[in-house]
Chains A and B, each alone.
Chain A
């Protein structure tokens, strides 16, 4: 019988660096198959890293529901396009949080010493689901208690958004600022699907979906793929002078019973961040984090997640946004990529605007999107399942 609570000690075999990333266009409907999209992303990541496919030892795949593609064992189907033929190949899955979770799995493939060079591929093709990918979400509910209510995702997020606004007395105008900021940031992203110069009024006057959620509060469904290359230190040293290191990873899955939780605060994100920060020796995230890419499928979610990540106190994220702190030239740039609201939301493939973007920012390779301030440490996060899972990665360009 174990007598004491055990802390996680993080005695890893070796450190893990990111040396390359790739991302395809994000579009509502692309002609390419999921395999082809994966291929493009992998090719780009290999080129950036200066590696060949034959250098890859293991492959990790992230892709959200099989129901989008209508393919059972979607991982097996995407195998060859992801460069995984004749290799150990692993697909992991935490619903919408997969975009940041796949590289967490990539991290442990390398940190455990089982692989020195691991390719992480994230793919999503939502347009195969006709007429709209929402129909795949009919089958995510408890069949006895939830499904008879015929819920859809927009209305459960409307519940969450309303609860968040109510508890902290937040106005829709303040939340809409996130959409304005991210869609404008996306103007500089070559993959962007919905980049635009819009105003708060545009958001507030857009089509009501399930109030308070309006059309411009929401990210679009998209097709796309992204890829990352994660390597051991001795490989990183051969490839680049400036690798970006994975300092911390964390994830947490809350209970299935979303109806029994207070939705105003994402506790699962806070737990995941606690694990990642502990591993990265971060005690005051607001001071120690220079740039953040939290998950923003809805504008209020960026604020919600900033609070979960400890980048703002509860209820204060809208104030930071209003004051311009989270702008690309602010003190804490948030979603400098343009996020899901601007670049698009191909569920798992958002790895390309979350983890890959953070890598590019910390490697000073983000081009026009590079934030104004000097950066050493950043955090990125995704969220998914039934408002249930938080996945967090802390990256740093200092070892």
Chain B
């Protein structure tokens, strides 16, 4: 069966806001860099273009209309996946494995700074009958409820989640594209404003702008373009339910999508075989959930491991060496793209001052509030 590799990556950002550029322009910048990186001409060489966007984030009724031009996808097989970038990667892999494409491009972007009423947009994702009428609170209180349930279930104390924030924000200091990085301690996090108690202000990722483009290719072509491409060994995606009241609150979606991706990648002992993980940390407790779900640690043991530095840059399995979303910002549907980008740059040895030694890396994303859907991609060099 055809293998699939990443032969080019390009990105623009990541910034807290980008008033000088439109979303088309940041996408164009990222695309040009990715095509340059892959050494291809998009008009000639690309067989399919996958873009990842949700209409309401973009402020359009049919956003798919606006995707082809800035990507060189005009009159080509171009389409939109209404999900995160990692779902787009899964489609890119399937397009190549099904023979529909030899070279496929995947794009996602965030122009979160254009959104004036973020909380109200998220509220539009609530079930209109069951969930929307339940109070007028900002959706972050749903995350606070989940955090409360989950930390009680596992017996994690707030200090653990504060350590996640301190670790990621410090990691971000080495990343030139991490606008929310900071040199802070767990105590700083614990003393930040309890905006959605027990969720504190610093445990919530702020929003950011940016665009990311990947060029994927079938194995034989990938080798022609780059003798040492980064391979996509496994993809997985999974949805639990659309109902907030029946979600597991233990990131079952991440567990199941990881199992799917690991099976495809032939990984049976993730904690030993995976060298590097970039997981969704748009709320600090989510990183802990996702570390468990990816089987990088046993349930209930993440607090001790975190404290011992197991997930640090220099630890056994570095998690979110990019600084994660807590440093880089919430990139909406491009969140998974930032995670995948970091894994690819690390595996290529192009991560600059934050470089760690890794051969197999995993990127994981959750579809944010109020969903229980997620995706996982396993990369290797």
Report Cα–Cα, A79/B122, bound state, in Å: 17
What is the CB-to-nearest-CB distance from B339 to chain A, in angstroms, rounded to a whole number? Answer: 19
21 A-B residue pairs with Cβ-Cβ distance under 8 Å, sorted by A, are: A6-B102, A13-B1, A13-B99, A65-B55, A70-B124, A72-B54, A72-B121, A73-B54, A76-B242, A77-B127, A88-B236, A112-B95, A113-B1, A138-B61, A139-B61, A140-B62, A142-B66, A251-B79, A252-B75, A257-B69, A268-B75
Cβ–Cβ < 8 Å partners of A384 in chain B: 62
Asked whether B64 lies within 8 Å of A91 as measured between CB atoms, the reply is no
Cβ of A364 within 8 Å of any chain B Cβ, yes or no, is no
Which residues between 190 and 249 of chain B lie within 8 Å of chain A, taking CB atoms? Answer: 221, 224-225, 236-243
Across-interface contacts of B69 in A (CB, < 8 A): 255-257
**Does the CB pair B61–A140 fall under 8 Å?**
yes
Q: A142 contacts which chain B residues (CB < 8 A)?
A: 66
B68 within 8 A of A: yes
Interface string of B305-334 (1 = CB under 8 A from A): 000000000000000000000000000000
- Kindly state the separation between the CA atoms of A200 and B103 in the bound complex, as whole angstroms: 49
Contact of A80 with B by CB under 8 A: yes
Alpha-carbon distance A73/B260, docked complex (angstroms):
23
> Within 8 Å of chain A (Cβ to Cβ): is B143?
no
Partner of B94, one of A8, A85, A114: A114
Q: Mark A1-41, 1 if CB is under 8 A from B, else 0.
A: 11001101111110000000000000000000100000000
Q: Tell me which of A1, A12, A79, A91 contacts B99 (CB under 8 A).
A: A12
Cβ < 8 Å to B, chain A residues 355-386: 384-386
Chain A residues within 8 Å of B236, by CB? 88
Q: How large is the interface on B (under 10, 10 to 19, 20 to 34, 35 or more residues)?
A: 35 or more
Residue among A13, A76, A271, A388 making CB contact with B65, cutoff 8 Å: A388
Q: Sorted from nearest, which 5 A-B pairs have the closest CB atoms?
A: A111-B98, A112-B97, A72-B124, A139-B61, A253-B78
Nearest CB in chain A: distance from B63 CB, A: 8
Chain A residues contacting B102 (CB-CB under 8 Å) are 6, 8-9
B74 adjacent to chain A (CB < 8 Å): yes
A residues whose Cβ falls under 8 Å from a Cβ of B? 1-2, 5-6, 8-13, 33, 64-67, 69-80, 84-95, 101, 105, 107-109, 111-114, 136-140, 142-143, 249-257, 267-268, 271-272, 275, 384-386, 388-389
Taking a contact as CB atoms under 8 Å apart, the answer to whether B75 and A254 are in contact is yes
Query: Which of B39-47, B166-174, B275-283, B353-361 is the interface stretch?
Result: B39-47
Chain B residues, Cβ within 8 Å of A10? 99-100
Among B55, B74, B93, B121, point to the contact of A255 (Cβ < 8 A): B74
Q: Is B185 an interface residue (CB 8 A)?
A: no
